[in-house]
Structure 1
Amino acid sequence: MLCLPFQALAAPPLPENASRFLQDHCFDCHDGPDGEGGFDLNSLNQDLTSPASLGKWSRVIDRISSEEMPPADTDQPDPADAQDFVQDTTDWVTNFQKETFSKVGRVRSRRLTNLQLERTLHDLLAIDLPLANQLTDEQRSSGFNNLADAQPMSHFHLQSHLTVIDTALEYAITKITNRSAPRPQNLNAQKLCRVNPRSRCREPEMLDGKAVVWSSGVTFHGRLPSTIANESGWYRFRITASSLNEPETHGVWCSVRSGRCTSGAPLLSWIGAFEANSTAQERVFEAWIPKDHMLEIRPADATIKRGRFQGGQIGTGEGTPQNVPGLAMHSIVMERIYPAGTAAATQQQLLGELESEVTQQEIHLSPNTTQKDLERQIMEFANRAFRRPVVTSQIQPFLDLARAGLNAGEKPFDVLIACYRGILCSPRFLYFFEPVGKLDDFAIANRLSYMLTNSMPDAKLLKLARENKLHDKSVLHEQTERLLREYGELEFLTHFADQWLDLVDIGFTEPDRKTHRDFDPIVQNSMLDETRYFLHDLLKHNAGVSRLISAEHTFTNSRLARYYGIDGVAGEKIQRIDLERTSNRGGLLAQGAILKVTANGTNTSPVLRGVWVSERLLGKQIPPPPENVPAVEPDIRGAKTIREQLQKHVSDASCAACHAHIDPPGYALENFDAAGRWRTTYSTSRQKRKPIAIDPSFTMSDGQKFSDFQQFRQLIADNPEPLARNFCEKLITYGTGSDIQFADRREIKKIVEQTADSNYGMRSLLHAAIASDIFLSK
């Protein structure tokens, strides 16, 4: 059993001194449903097993600790009494949670995420097909999709899991039996062009021996039927192309996407982009292409002139007289590839040392295969699938299944696959098996590997687990470095930041084309690269956590630099650039990806951005609005700017306390529009010709004032401890699959203090988090 019924512990009563403190200093303002700020102390029960109750106690402790409460305009308690209250209630909550953790663990039953399941099957079977998108959509809690408390298991989840297991096994078998190696297709310009030169269509036209696609707004212009995939798989494309009529200051930026490219199937998958110049260059892209999908390659820079073509089709010769930029494709080489290895590698993973005969249709195990041979292979596969040593009793049902199948005269290979199917549907495969208390070496190997690589532990890590060496902090440090080196720091940071910073939501909204004419998919994907490469650079060099906010460099290509208004950047590759001291860029808060996910695509909201900065970067959780505050918006008649609207809103005392934390970052970021560009005024209607100036100034919750974004950014960077604590908390949340608990606070503080000598270096924080008792315990 992975989990057993547990009778919830009852919390001991609140210490008498703490109860008296609340009576003396808090009940006057918070007695009854109409209490100040919508907070009624009578509703504050002592059931610490309730998340809602625990959240309220956390806020009470935090506000008294930070001297936000009681308010400055009321009688103040003796500082020693307030300190004793904070200490007593902190101990009360912490001790209760620690006792609960000792019985059931800090993290309840946690299963593999969709991505982790996909990659585990890839490693188990040496296959490479995408599987995560075939599974039931995942919930995100606190930004993360791997938290145990937000992982329901319905019959829909079970059915999709069964389907994916069958798909993976069938793909592995097909890969073994179909060993044909198709030759690369050499597609010259003639093969890339439309079949009938006289037809009006969306395929390239032939011009001077090149397959030409013009800049236009025609859907699917640049689709290439000659690249249709005969079978689903990974393909490598070597595209040789040059530009036509390129602008004076830059090349012609083009997108590479794939899809069916028909009105009945309009969705396209992003593959990449490049900047075509007058000199032909070869560029290489690799992508999974489903059967019957094709490439679409076209100019996609929103800033260049577009041709006009009637009827959604383009005739040969219609683009030349318009003198618009275009793309000239010289050739494409299309090659089927196998990133997960050869068919022989898959056969080894599936059959091990079993003798077999492979034909074009099926796999036959040797007639000499015995029941013991099958049992030995089943045991070996179960050891890898369960990611720890198994004993016979744990896989007895599968051994019984094998015995019954053989006795019934079934083919040995079919019996083996049926057992594999059962193993891959077992809870021991799908869930993390973590004993209560300190993790054993195999649980450490799993937790570390899935945090850094999103897949099962490799042979080196499992060997160390068998040798009981992973509790050695120096070994753990070495293995962390090895995994980052061999599997990629950028890969780890991509998946971590997608959730921590909500980058996964960047495509959720589309900026209004009327107000954001220069925004395009190339800019959006370059923004993602900017943030990922930036984080990678900081982690690689163990930069102090303040650099997250105050860095004087960023990563960009020529297209994104032009969008930002940064001069002197050339080339399509993402590259590090040093910024001028007066630049508005630098740090996460000035990066387009962050600014886009914190807006709605049309306009900005200081509240939305303020909450995001507080929770994602500063570690300050903003509670939901008080229960006694109606859902309707307050009266904002007469307000002209967003600042005036919010000032009317926060004049309500129920809102003011939280807005003291929300508003400073919200106002500071108002100089960035919904698509991440710098602005100094709000856009106005045509009737209002005079633009409204943006005022980013405000006062921090601690009383410090700032007049612009740069000053705000420096105030945040000058106080690195909250940034370090937050980064540590997000790493532990991501690595353990559980939100930070109240009882974790002292350990988090200790972790952060350990890294102070490195200026809270980000790599130091990662190592300290992984070596912590929180990470190494269930």
Structure 2
Amino acid sequence: MMSRPLSRVMLSVAILGTIACSQSQAADQAAPFQDVVGTFMQSHCVRCHGPESQEGDFRVDTLSKDVGGGTTVNRWLEVIEKINSGEMPPEDEPERPTAEQGAKVVEWLAARIEEGRSARLAKRQPVSFHRLSRSEYANTVEDLLGVRYGVADPGGLNEDAEYHGFERIGTVLSLSASHIEKYYNAAEQILDEAYPEKPIETTIVRKRALDLRGGPSREQIEELEAQGLADKVRVDMWPGHHIQGGRPGPGNDMLKNGGFFKVRIQVSGMKPPGGRAPHLTFYADKIDRLLFEQDILAPEDKPEIVEFTCHLPPSANSFELTNDVPGPSNLPRSGRSGNRPFFSLKEGRIPWQIKLTDEEGVPLYPFLIVDWVEWEGPIITDEVAGKRARYMPADGAKPDEIRECLTRFCEDAFRRPVTAAEVDRYMTIANEELAAGAKTQPAMKTAMLGVLCSKDFLFLVEGNLEQPTDTLDDFEIANRLAYMLWSTMPDEELLKLAHEGKLHDKQVLKEQFDRMLADPRAARFSQDFPRQWLQLHKLGMFPPNKDLYPNYDPHLERSMRGETSAFFQEVLDQNLSLREFLDSDWTMVNPRLAMHYEMPGIEADRFQRVPLSDEVHRGGLLTQAAILSLTSDGTRHRPVHRGVWVMESIFGKSPPPPPANVDPIEPNPVDSPKATIRMKLEAHKHDANCAACHRKIDPLGLAFDNFDAIGRWRTEEVVPNGTGSNPKVDASGVLPDGREFAGPAEFRQLLLANVDDFNDTFLKKLATYSLRRTMTVDDRQSLEAIAAQSRDTDYRVRDLVEAFVLSDLFQKR
């Protein structure tokens, strides 16, 4: 729009409305809207953003002239940004304004926005309610009562509504009648498990191979036992082989109350040279939950014992133990050697069956040998038992003892001190139950049910009607910090500091930040924040077509998601720069993902940091398979979707929705030359309604055309229909500011040149996640101050997160 863009310093001065600016520009700021802004808009903006044309779905002539107090303040902020960047009007505008003319409009608009700040803040409600997300609810219940409720199980809690990937936005997480019913049922189940009618004893049940295998008759089993061979029988598991139903699980009596259980499996795993390792999965069918998975590499004569802990609801469960890798089907020719028991690979096979090993005993397929499965539980630790006992009075307890227990439960559940009147509400419930003849424990459970269904448990409540304030109290700070870093309630130490009123002390807050990041629960921050910021919920939304992508499987999808979380964790733990998210010479892979990336030599089944060579063509977040797959549709890559993702996640800009009735990109006709999606997108640029946005979006997505729909590198685009050979990939492009790139490597370098913009975006995403609300123009001053601190520390991520936690913004509603 202008001969040169305004500097970031000029924009900051304009937005902040400093005293010096106010004094020097007093006359201009006092000028009426029409003289300063209206004439400018009419001359340079209305032709493309007025009643006859609204490029990018943006219209300026209808914006409120009450710039700072009207409903379009955020739209006016966009106008400021477009003028400041020199993006509008575009270069081809015949009469472009000078820098001074643009600056005058920007300063006038910024002053009006600043003037309206107090009025906008005054409109905020004195109390804010932020409902716990499903995962936060599950974590909080577990910390409170030692019960892991399956919020995503069938019949669990409703899915959380999301806003641009975020599941924690208070204004989005509404509460309906169906929510209330779900919470009530959940609370009943949680309390029944925590306080069963009869004591539950921990038992151990082992299923030996004969119990798991099936096949041998009772007579054969008795014969094996008589020969002392029964315990030497093993289960041979070909690729894809399932052990299903009740065989790998205990009887229903053991699970009737639910709880935590330890599962141990003695197993060997043989990997063919250059092939995949056998992959053990343990799945609970009825609740549709993967309980455990791991590659197994252990010699036949040196099996290993794998152990995991899972929580199961109180119901009849069935399980599935699987060697979850592709390979020969489990049919007679490739399956077991008749009905005879299996003892060892060394025994050989029936002549007409497929061999398991070559002549030297080297495995030909990924193969598992299972010896036994052992269950232990329900497991109740001393810590959990003690916590539950604090809340439950003994039978025949006096009213004062009941009230004391109920007060403790209310304080812990509400995560703050409670008043006598609040406890009275739940004591009334307990007393009514006792008066009706109930014993102490059932009466107490009914009162506790009311607590778990109350707004003070289900919501994070910030503010006070009686004493309105924009600043959090110590307990609200404790909750905000705990749910940011741990996605659960504050622990005893954090609440103790809140009781002492010390959390407004920046040094104390820093010490707590360091302590909490060192806690294992902080891993949730590295999982939940990038998952929501990067919109990883879209991964797997459109499962890849099996005919086109036969090697894609659930294990690969989970590995894709795991790379991104592990990458974020490494950047945070090592306090690396934000630049690593844009481009890096390393990533985090496990064996399954390494195979997908064609990176040999990765054996240990864990995410590990590996260097990246130029031949791998990867680096940073944007070339990770999860990101490339979530922006595809299961059949083909989607450059426009990838471009929109980059705009939103890296630059913090949300493009307007496409105009109605835009023709979709059709498949290539069988009688036409093969054409890439890029070629087909060119047609959209001839439509004026599309061109304005596509020239900003398309280059950001086309930069990654060398990656297919599941993130594999390619130099040709496979076009199933049409004549001729597959066309070569063209990943070059030109950014709206005129900078050119020839492929993803050069594009990533251009992103690094815009690290300040990414710094701003990352900070806004972090603040949105942590404060549980969208950022507004009134947060801009605080965000700019934190962003400046980040620049001073070379954009190091842990330092940035710490600066945010210690900022005034973190302590404000």
Common topology (TM > 0.5): yes
Find the aligned partners of 1:165 and 1:14 in 2 and give their Cα distance: 59
Partner of 2:490: 457
How far does residue 762 in structure 1 lie from its aligned partner after superposition?
0.7
How far does residue 58 in structure 1 lie from its aligned partner after superposition?
3.6
Q: Scaled by the length of structure 2, what TM-score is found?
A: 0.83
Find the aligned partners of 2:111 and 2:289 in 1 and give their Cα distance: 55
1:429 aligns with 2:457: yes
When residues 733 and 527 of structure 1 are mapped into structure 2, their CA distance, relative to the original with a 3 A threshold, is same
Partner of 2:120: 100
**2:651–2:757 Cα contact (<8 Å) kept:** yes
When residues 700 and 337 of structure 1 are mapped into structure 2, their CA distance, relative to the original with a 3 A threshold, is farther
**Residue 149 of structure 1: SS of its match in structure 2?**
coil
Find the aligned partners of 1:107 and 1:322 in 2 and give their Cα distance: 70
Code of the residue aligned with 2:391 in structure 1: it is L
Partner of 1:521: 554
**2:675–2:727 Cα contact (<8 Å) kept:** no
Find the aligned partners of 1:277 and 1:417 in 2 and give their Cα distance: 48
How far does residue 417 in structure 1 lie from its aligned partner after superposition?
2.3
**1:300–1:520 Cα contact (<8 Å) kept:** no
When residues 654 and 58 of structure 1 are mapped into structure 2, their CA distance, relative to the original with a 3 A threshold, is farther
1:32 aligns with 2:51: yes
Find the aligned partners of 2:187 and 2:261 in 1 and give their Cα distance: 24
1:622 aligns with 2:663: no
Find the aligned partners of 1:136 and 1:124 in 2 and give their Cα distance: 21
Offset from partner CA, 1:150-189 (integer Å, 9 cap, x none): 1121111111111111111111111x84231112x33332
1:690 aligns with 2:725: yes
Find the aligned partners of 1:141 and 1:519 in 2 and give their Cα distance: 29
How far does residue 98 in structure 1 lie from its aligned partner after superposition?
4.5
**1:557–1:575 Cα contact (<8 Å) kept:** yes
When residues 502 and 462 of structure 1 are mapped into structure 2, their CA distance, relative to the original with a 3 A threshold, is same
How far does residue 409 in structure 1 lie from its aligned partner after superposition?
5.0
Find the aligned partners of 1:340 and 1:58 in 2 and give their Cα distance: 55
How far does residue 406 in structure 1 lie from its aligned partner after superposition?
4.6
When residues 148 and 776 of structure 1 are mapped into structure 2, their CA distance, relative to the original with a 3 A threshold, is same
Q: How does 1:642-721 map to 2 (within 5 A)?
A: 642-685=677-720, 688=723, 690-721=725-756
Find the aligned partners of 2:354 and 2:436 in 1 and give their Cα distance: 75
**Residue 72 of structure 1: SS of its match in structure 2?**
coil
Find the aligned partners of 2:38 and 2:524 in 1 and give their Cα distance: 50
Code of the residue aligned with 2:162 in structure 1: it is R
1:165 aligns with 2:187: yes
Code of the residue aligned with 1:473 in structure 2: it is K
1:115 aligns with 2:156: no
When residues 621 and 580 of structure 1 are mapped into structure 2, their CA distance, relative to the original with a 3 A threshold, is same
Find the aligned partners of 2:200 and 2:244 in 1 and give their Cα distance: 33
Partner of 1:83: 103
Partner of 2:798: 763
How far does residue 144 in structure 1 lie from its aligned partner after superposition?
0.8
Q: How does 1:150-229 map to 2 (within 5 A)?
A: 150-174=172-196, 177-183=198-204, 185-196=205-216, 209-216=233-240, 220=242, 225-228=247-250
**Unaligned residue ranges in structure 2 (runs of 5+):** 1-29, 219-229, 340-348, 357-364, 464-468
How far does residue 330 in structure 1 lie from its aligned partner after superposition?
2.4
1:42 aligns with 2:68: no
Q: How does 1:346-357 map to 2 (within 5 A)?
A: 346-351=387-392, 354=393, 356=394
When residues 108 and 84 of structure 1 are mapped into structure 2, their CA distance, relative to the original with a 3 A threshold, is farther
Partner of 2:222: none
How far does residue 408 in structure 1 lie from its aligned partner after superposition?
5.2
1:19 aligns with 2:38: yes
**Residue 589 of structure 1: SS of its match in structure 2?**
coil
When residues 634 and 271 of structure 1 are mapped into structure 2, their CA distance, relative to the original with a 3 A threshold, is closer
Find the aligned partners of 2:278 and 2:380 in 1 and give their Cα distance: 28
Find the aligned partners of 1:192 and 1:14 in 2 and give their Cα distance: 84
Offset from partner CA, 1:375-417 (integer Å, 9 cap, x none): 2222222221211112213333223344444555543333322
When residues 343 and 559 of structure 1 are mapped into structure 2, their CA distance, relative to the original with a 3 A threshold, is closer
How far does residue 772 in structure 1 lie from its aligned partner after superposition?
2.4
Find the aligned partners of 1:319 and 1:549 in 2 and give their Cα distance: 57
**1:258–1:293 Cα contact (<8 Å) kept:** no
Residue of structure 1 aligned with 2:633, choices 575, 600, 605: 600
How far does residue 465 in structure 1 lie from its aligned partner after superposition?
0.8
Partner of 2:405: 377
**1:584–1:710 Cα contact (<8 Å) kept:** yes
Partner of 1:276: 297
**1:254–1:297 Cα contact (<8 Å) kept:** no
Offset from partner CA, 1:423-482 (integer Å, 9 cap, x none): 222222222221140111111111111111111111111111111111111211111121
**1:107–1:736 Cα contact (<8 Å) kept:** no
Offset from partner CA, 1:303-341 (integer Å, 9 cap, x none): x45555699999758998123623211233322253765
Q: How does 1:520-539 map to 2 (within 5 A)?
A: 520-539=553-572
When residues 340 and 84 of structure 1 are mapped into structure 2, their CA distance, relative to the original with a 3 A threshold, is farther
1:345 aligns with 2:386: yes
When residues 321 and 268 of structure 1 are mapped into structure 2, their CA distance, relative to the original with a 3 A threshold, is farther
Find the aligned partners of 2:352 and 2:639 in 1 and give their Cα distance: 47
**Residue 298 of structure 1: SS of its match in structure 2?**
strand
Partner of 1:59: 78
How far does residue 688 in structure 1 lie from its aligned partner after superposition?
4.2
Partner of 1:330: 371
Offset from partner CA, 1:490-535 (integer Å, 9 cap, x none): 2221121221222233232221122212222222222222111111
Code of the residue aligned with 2:236 in structure 1: it is V
When residues 575 and 644 of structure 1 are mapped into structure 2, their CA distance, relative to the original with a 3 A threshold, is same
Code of the residue aligned with 1:423 in structure 2: it is V
Find the aligned partners of 1:599 and 1:171 in 2 and give their Cα distance: 43
Of 66-75 and 452-461, more deviation after overlay is shown by 66-75
When residues 268 and 434 of structure 1 are mapped into structure 2, their CA distance, relative to the original with a 3 A threshold, is closer
Code of the residue aligned with 2:704 in structure 1: it is L
Of 525-534 and 272-281, more deviation after overlay is shown by 272-281
Find the aligned partners of 2:522 and 2:351 in 1 and give their Cα distance: 45
Of 376-385 and 700-709, more deviation after overlay is shown by 376-385
Q: How does 1:451-600 map to 2 (within 5 A)?
A: 451-600=484-633
**2:278–2:325 Cα contact (<8 Å) kept:** yes
**2:589–2:608 Cα contact (<8 Å) kept:** yes
Q: Using the aligned pairs only, state the percent identity.
A: 29
**Residue 369 of structure 2: SS of its match in structure 1?**
strand
**1:579–1:585 Cα contact (<8 Å) kept:** yes
Find the aligned partners of 1:533 and 1:527 in 2 and give their Cα distance: 10
Q: Scaled by the length of structure 1, what TM-score is found?
A: 0.87
Partner of 2:323: 299
Residue of structure 2 aligned with 1:241, choices 253, 260, 267: 267
Find the aligned partners of 2:262 and 2:351 in 1 and give their Cα distance: 30
**CA RMSD for the aligned pairs?**
3.3
Aligned residues: 736
Of 660-669 and 540-549, more deviation after overlay is shown by 660-669
How far does residue 277 in structure 1 lie from its aligned partner after superposition?
4.5
**Residue 236 of structure 2: SS of its match in structure 1?**
strand
Of 78-87 and 447-456, more deviation after overlay is shown by 78-87
Offset from partner CA, 1:250-283 (integer Å, 9 cap, x none): 45321313134xxxx6956352121335443332
Partner of 1:6: none
**2:486–2:523 Cα contact (<8 Å) kept:** no
Find the aligned partners of 1:631 and 1:478 in 2 and give their Cα distance: 55
Find the aligned partners of 1:508 and 1:207 in 2 and give their Cα distance: 45
1:730 aligns with 2:765: yes
When residues 605 and 693 of structure 1 are mapped into structure 2, their CA distance, relative to the original with a 3 A threshold, is same
Code of the residue aligned with 2:297 in structure 1: it is A
**Residue 590 of structure 1: SS of its match in structure 2?**
coil
**2:127–2:462 Cα contact (<8 Å) kept:** no
**Residue 273 of structure 1: SS of its match in structure 2?**
strand
1:640 aligns with 2:687: no
How far does residue 116 in structure 1 lie from its aligned partner after superposition?
1.6
Find the aligned partners of 1:608 and 1:314 in 2 and give their Cα distance: 51
How far does residue 300 in structure 1 lie from its aligned partner after superposition?
2.4
How far does residue 221 in structure 1 lie from its aligned partner after superposition?
5.7
When residues 373 and 335 of structure 1 are mapped into structure 2, their CA distance, relative to the original with a 3 A threshold, is closer
Find the aligned partners of 1:320 and 1:700 in 2 and give their Cα distance: 63
Code of the residue aligned with 2:416 in structure 1: it is R
Residue of structure 2 aligned with 1:256, choices 281, 306, 311: 281
Of 396-405 and 467-476, more deviation after overlay is shown by 396-405
